[in-house]
């Protein structure tokens, strides 16, 4: 379970500490706080717009969502704030045991105090007097109080979350191998339709860390040796204003490492293995990774992941079949010699144990959400007019 409460507190600290802080000399006049917008009430527990916005922003900031998604923020509020309060409130000792509750109380008290002291420190400036330090501490106490971050509430909330973790771990949620394989097939069909003919989109999803099960056609596995060239020549290449200047600069970059290039090409002509030469000459850390050495960098002629010069080199006239080696390729990183390791077959990627575990976890989470939502629906739910303006017509839970 995500420690949403801790993330919220950490975010508040970061936002409050941003920029230069001035010593507090007197209390500034403040406007009266705006009235909170109530979205819904579940079992007597109120859910407010600002509460949902805060979580929606965090989900976006920490890359759980692609944009600030209010329905998704509301779902997290319901699952990780409302549900624990309704389903496990008052049962913490029963679920966790008295000794564990005592241990967690101390742990979360220390954690909260560390957050608080860090915030006090962020207000400090060199040369602060004792009076200044006392003013900073008083300001920090006020800021935490204004933000609703109080020690007792934080500790009880975190313990409630632990109790809820245990509660949901005991829910009767079953995922079979057949379920996992069916989800795998669904993803294959979706991804093939979604990414076919759109390599930049496919690679965007890869960059953001999505697990993808379909491999589009046209990819090659490429190994390379990156050679560190003369810095002045490289700077001239980076700063070249047109193609003519760039070609001239590229020639100077290559000339700066010509002796090394001659050694490498001669070794290849004599039958030396390209991989052994990587270990001897290459400066790219990525080529020290066993997986990359085994499979090569996945390069497509339409890709946006690698530099244009690198991609062109991977699909140049010299690179017509597996085992081919490119001419020297200049990029802003230096000089590359590329090796055509393999063609990456189009189609379904193997359903490995790692993939299976990820799909199983996803299915368990999805079914857990369904179970918790069903339990929440047993409580009285009231939606306000503001709910429809902020969330839309979808009824959550």
Residues 6+ apart with CB under 8 A from 138: 24
Instruction: Give the pLDDT score at 28.
Output: 46
Please give the backbone phi and psi of residue 63, each rounded to the nearest 5 degrees, phi first.
65, 25
Q: Contact, 48 vs 39, CB < 8 A?
A: yes
Distances (CA, A) of 107 to 110, 121, 141, 154, 165: 5, 21, 20, 11, 17
Cβ-Cβ contacts under 8 Å for 385 (sequence gap 6 or more): none
- For residue 13, pLDDT over 70 is answered with no
Cβ atoms < 10 Å from Cβ of 306: 19
Is 0.75 topped by the overall pTM?
no
Cα(116)–Cα(112) distance, integer angstroms: 6
pLDDT digits (tens, 9 = 90+) for 92-136: 999 999 999 999 999 999 999 999 999 999 999 888 899 989 999
Structural domain spans, the chain: 4-18+37-173+356-390, 218-345
Tell me what pLDDT residue 31 has.
57
- Give the confidence band of 84 by pLDDT, cuts at 50, 70, 90: confident
Give the whole-angstrom CA distance, residue 89 versus residue 82. 10
For 262, residues 6+ apart whose C-beta sits below 8 A from its C-beta are: none
Cα 4 to Cα 56: distance, rounded to the nearest angstrom: 11
According to DSSP, the β-strands at 329-331 and 334-344 are: antiparallel
* 32 confidence band (pLDDT: 50, 70, 90): low
Residue 30, pLDDT score: 53
Take residue 110 and report the two structure tokens written for it. 């220390």
- Alpha-helical segments (H) within 62-176: 70-77, 83-88, 92-96, 98-123, 130-146, 151-169
Q: What is the mean pLDDT of the chain?
A: 89
Element (H, E) at 346: none
The pLDDT confidence band at residue 39, using thresholds 50, 70 and 90, is very high
Q: What is the pLDDT of residue 304?
A: 86
- Average pLDDT of the residues in 317-336: 97
**pLDDT 10s digits, 262-307:** 999 999 999 999 999 999 999 999 999 999 999 999 999 999 899 9
Predicted local distance difference test score (pLDDT) of residue 64 = 77
Cβ(346)–Cβ(300) below 8 Å: no
Whole-angstrom CA distances from 301 to 44, 150, 310 are 58, 56, 10
pLDDT score of 147: 82
Task: State which fold the 218-345 domain adopts.
Answer: Chitinase A; domain 3 (3.10.50)
> pLDDT for 186-238, tens place per residue?
999 999 999 989 999 999 988 888 899 999 999 999 999 999 999 999 999 99
At 194 the pLDDT is 92
Per the CB < 8 A criterion, the answer to whether 95 and 166 are in contact is yes
Q: Where are the beta strands (DSSP E) in the chain?
A: 38-42, 45-48, 214-215, 219-227, 297-299, 329-331, 334-344, 347-348, 381-383
Is the pLDDT at 81 greater than 90? The verdict is no
The number of C-alpha atoms within 13 Å of 249 and in the hemisphere containing its C-beta is 20
């Amino acid at each position: 379970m995500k420690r949403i409460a801790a993330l919220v507190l950490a975010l508040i600290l970061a936002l409050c500490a941003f920029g230069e802080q001035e010593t507090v000399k007197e209390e500034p006049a403040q406007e009266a706080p705006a009235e909170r917008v109530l979205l819904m009430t579940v079992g007597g527990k109120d859910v407010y717009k600002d509460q949902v916005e805060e979580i929606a922003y965090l989900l976006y900031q920490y890359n759980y969502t692609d944009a600030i998604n209010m329905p998704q923020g509301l779902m997290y509020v319901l699952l990780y704030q409302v549900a624990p309060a309704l389903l496990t409130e008052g049962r913490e000792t029963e679920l966790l045991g008295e000794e564990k509750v005592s241990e967690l109380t101390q742990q979360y008290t220390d954690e909260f105090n560390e957050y608080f002291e860090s915030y006090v420190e962020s207000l400090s400036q060199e040369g602060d007097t004792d009076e200044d330090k006392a003013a900073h501490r008083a300001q920090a106490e006020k800021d935490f109080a204004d933000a609703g971050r109080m020690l007792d509430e934080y500790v009880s909330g975190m313990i409630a979350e632990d109790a809820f973790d245990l509660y949901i771990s005991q829910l009767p949620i079953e995922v079979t191998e057949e379920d996992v394989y069916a989800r795998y097939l669904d993803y294959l069909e979706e991804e093939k339709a979604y990414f076919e003919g759109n390599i930049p989109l496919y690679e965007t999803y890869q960059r953001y860390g999505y697990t993808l099960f379909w491999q589009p056609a046209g990819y090659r596995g490429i190994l390379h040796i990156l050679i560190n060239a003369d810095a002045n020549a490289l700077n001239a290449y980076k700063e070249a204003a047109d193609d003519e200047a760039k070609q001239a600069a590229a020639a100077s970059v290559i000339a700066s490492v010509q002796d090394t290039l001659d050694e490498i090409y001669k070794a290849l002509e004599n039958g030396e293995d390209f991989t052994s030469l990587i270990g001897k000459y290459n400066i790219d850390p990525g080529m020290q990774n066993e997986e990359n050495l085994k499979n090569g960098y996945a390069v497509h002629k339409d890709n946006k992941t690698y530099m244009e010069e690198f991609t062109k080199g991977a699909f140049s006239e010299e690179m017509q079949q597996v085992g081919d080696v490119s001419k020297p390729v200049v990029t802003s990183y230096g000089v590359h010699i590329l090796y055509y390791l393999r063609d990456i077959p189009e189609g379904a990627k193997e359903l490995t144990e790692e993939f299976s575990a990820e799909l199983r976890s996803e299915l368990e989470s999805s079914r857990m959400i369904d179970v918790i939502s069903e339990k929440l629906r047993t409580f009285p739910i009231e939606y306000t007019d503001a709910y429809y303006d902020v969330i839309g017509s979808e009824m959550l839970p």
